[in-house]
Structure 1
Amino acid sequence: MSSTPSPAGVVTAPAGQVVTVTDRSFADLVLDSQVPVLVDFWAEWCPPCRMMAPVLDRIAADYAGRLVVASLNCDEQPQTARTYGVLAMPTFKIFRGGEPVASVVGARSGAAMRKLLDEHL
């Protein structure tokens, strides 16, 4: 899923869907977001990363309007992954007000992800 330009030219994320972010769009979609953002740092070759996709789709739908769920492929977008010290995948970081406020490494159950999110929203 990609981002959508708003009428004012500001890039916004579609509510209830996982949005794909790039090194170029990260600041607009994550750092400048008006709501918290869960960023999934992942790679195509990573089985636990692929296993998390349906969990993240469900979280995006369940938290629509309160949270943006973003996905960043670390192999295709290495600059942002390096900037935030991502060394293992999947890594999940919650950003609020442009700053990372929580981080976990490794696949998690839907319940564990919701618990983490509820602690930081």
Structure 2
Amino acid sequence: MNQLEPELEQNLRNANLWWQNIHSPPLPPLKRWAFEPVLKRLKGGMTPIVALRGPRQVGKTTLAQQIIQHLLDEGVSATHILRVQFEDLPTFTSQQEPILRIAYWFEQHILGQPFNTIAHEG
């Protein structure tokens, strides 16, 4: 259950380059209206997960990248951030229980410890 198809795993690693200490290109300094509400939702509660959806070319990816950079700048561990852009995962729909599989893979291969342990550490 903790293994992913190699192509899917590589796509996830490529979408989360901060795990390898690779910085993204400079981002626009302007933060749109959704920046603060999304950041607040990510920081609140025991299970900080947010889905961004909407039409193409409205700034979802830029918003996600700005929030990730903000979290990294605040000192959040790079391995505690997972970004999944589902439309960029061609093998995603062929997986059985794909979100669970990605979560288990992330827990085992990136975090290296259970989600509950990380959550209790803050």
More helix as a share of residues: 2
Mark the structure with the bigger radius of gyration: 2
More strand as a share of residues: 1
Select the structure with the greater relative contact order (CA < 8 A; seq sep ≥ 6).
2
Instruction: Give the alignment's TM-score, normalised by structure 2.
Output: 0.31
